[in-house]
Structure 1
């Protein structure tokens, strides 16, 4: 379940960073444009490597586009230079034609009056025809170059339009996937949260009753008990009903942890902190009892620092009444152990 959630989370991050790159490409920016959703994920997760990768991709694609546009621009610049030269050439040819035309008008009058040979007139006419033909060719070249410039400009516009069209399509697809993946992520997170059991406090698990992996737990079903860490040392004791009138809140008692060596383990002092009103029955013996709670004093607990106290350990509780000396009354522990004999190791 956790692996499935992580996969969806990774896909979600990849889509958000891709969206940031595509938004930058769409707006012609050189840096990623972070959406509010991506900014939120950046605060919770380390996705710097993914961001760096897409930033590099953005820069590479920007460079590729700019190189293609620069190549077109360079061609247009060259064509404009050629166009200018041809236009100057055409201007010169037109001037030359004007001068030749004026010469022809004068030569025709001279040839008509017999002042010059006809060959001179014919040579000038041939020169005029040649220059006129050259001008026509130059004008044709100018038209061709202008058309080429127009084509290159159109190519530049088309290239940018196609680029933006592709970016727009990718962005729309990415945003659709973001919404879909986010929906799946919410479901995966919900399932993950319901597959994990979180204790309200840190402590030690006791009395675990569910062991089936992948099993279904009914609502309200008891799974385990947890003894909190760093809490007062409390002992649950069972008081025989005929002694309950002698047990009061704050009553001083002594406790013997019978799971340890009885010679080397000291008794520690405690006080009764709670007496429950319900009369209960021992399921095994049928004897009635009252449940009470005894707290070990913090000062006396230091005597047990070298020992590992675990939930469920048997404890003998000794109380002192006004009529007797130290009486040995066993307050039976939660694990329902009977009175323990003192055995020397």
Structure 2
């Protein structure tokens, strides 16, 4: 018959005359059924090829194993915190957050009005003390005039008028003290001269009296000879002796006056010497005190100048400004308060990563690490590489979350290449894969099953 038709054979009796039995009908396959069967086989073949290829790939394809960690970029050396000892009022802010600075570059200035006023006052006192010292040295050397010493550190170079007033004042003091001392000396010398004149006059009187006494004695002796011969009278002799006694008394008075005058001369000379001695002792004492004052004022000026110099805050190292705390000119900064941090430019960049305690058994120094900078998209900056340098010996606790972790230091490889407009900054967040080894995909997929089987076998 035709394809797809049913053929039925039937007979009323068999060849043997037995009753005839029905013959099963045969149904030929249709075109539709045959098409579905071939597509199914094709799909099975494709699936088989896929799983076979996947199995081969999974069995031989290498897969990195390691620990995933998170951290941030920092520098091997600590940040340099910029502080100011005295604090004060901010006058000028010359840098901002993120600026790159060179070592010794001026960062900001504090208002120096107070320090400048202090230096000005101390400078005036120092100039006066130096002029006083020069005047005292002239007095000590008994010079006729003061020789003022010019000092290159003379603090009033810009105030010549005031400085000249100081010098003139010391010159007037010098002249007045010199005049007083000279007048005292002149008065004493005049008194001594008067006493010497008195002595001279008294000495002349004594000499005249001695001559009178000699003449009276000579006359008395002659009369006594005549008296013995009867040619003279005794009353005349007695009268001469009375005159001699009076003259002798006057002579003794004059001699006593001469002695007193000489004593007063000695006393006057001693007084004059004592006055000069006291004056010189006073000069020496004042000179010593003045020298001490000059030394003290110099030290105080140096200290004030240091304060004035520190009002100009400079960068201790080259690097980048971070964590700036100074924002307003005219603001007040407390003594010792941190102003900003500088991340050194030449320091080695590292990553401080937090390692999960479950992964600590596979993380150790020397392992390579793949580092992805979270601040940039993956199409902007490719993965960079580093090496584990150190792992903390014990776990730490995060006070915020209470979770434990280990710290790993990963040194970023030198010569990392980034696009021109991209840089690695300290403080950047990063994601790391610390490569602990290699295995196949198949071993990775069957690892949970193998662990369970191993556990089940141990339990059994």
TM-score (norm 2): 0.44
What residue is the counterpart of 1:187 in the other structure?
A: 303
Counterpart contact for 1:16–1:38, Cα < 8 Å: no
Counterpart contact for 1:22–1:167, Cα < 8 Å: yes
Structure 1 residues 214, 63: CA separation in 2 closer, same or farther (over 3 Å shift)?
A: farther
Residues 81-130 of structure 1 show CA distances to partners (whole Å, capped at 9, x for unaligned) of 11111111111111111121212211111112221111000011111111
Q: Please give the alpha-carbon distance, in whole angstroms, between the structure 2 residues aligned to 1:8 and 1:17.
A: 14
Q: Please give the alpha-carbon distance, in whole angstroms, between the structure 2 residues aligned to 1:42 and 1:88.
A: 66
Is 2:290 aligned against 1:174? Answer: yes
- Number of residue-to-residue matches in the alignment: 222
Q: CA deviation at 1:220?
A: 6.4
Counterpart contact for 1:8–1:181, Cα < 8 Å: yes
Choose the corresponding residue for 1:84, options 182, 200, 208. Answer: 200
Q: CA deviation at 1:178?
A: 1.1
Residues 220-269 of structure 1 show CA distances to partners (whole Å, capped at 9, x for unaligned) of 659xxxxxxxxxxxxxxxxxxxxxxxxxxxxxxxxxxxxxxxxxxxxxxx
Quick check: which one's strand share is greater?
A: 2
Choose the corresponding residue for 2:187, options 39, 46, 71. Answer: 71
Q: CA deviation at 1:210?
A: 5.2
Q: CA deviation at 1:33?
A: 2.9
Gaps of 5+ in 1: 199-206, 223-276, 282-345
Q: CA deviation at 1:34?
A: 2.5
Gaps of 5+ in 2: 1-114, 315-323, 344-418, 424-460
Bigger relative contact order, structure 1 or 2 (CA pairs below 8 A, ≥6 apart):
2
TM-score (norm 1): 0.58
For the pair shown, which has the larger CA radius of gyration, 1 or 2?
A: 2
Is 2:269 aligned against 1:153? Answer: yes
Structure 1 residues 42, 26: CA separation in 2 closer, same or farther (over 3 Å shift)?
A: farther
What residue is the counterpart of 1:4 in the other structure?
A: 118
Residues 40-90 of structure 1 show CA distances to partners (whole Å, capped at 9, x for unaligned) of 556565211111111111111111111111111111111111111111111
Counterpart contact for 2:119–2:301, Cα < 8 Å: yes
Is 2:394 aligned against 1:280? Answer: no
Name the SS for the 2:421 alignment partner: strand
Q: CA deviation at 1:278?
A: 2.5
Counterpart contact for 2:126–2:155, Cα < 8 Å: no
Structure 1 residues 219, 174: CA separation in 2 closer, same or farther (over 3 Å shift)?
A: farther
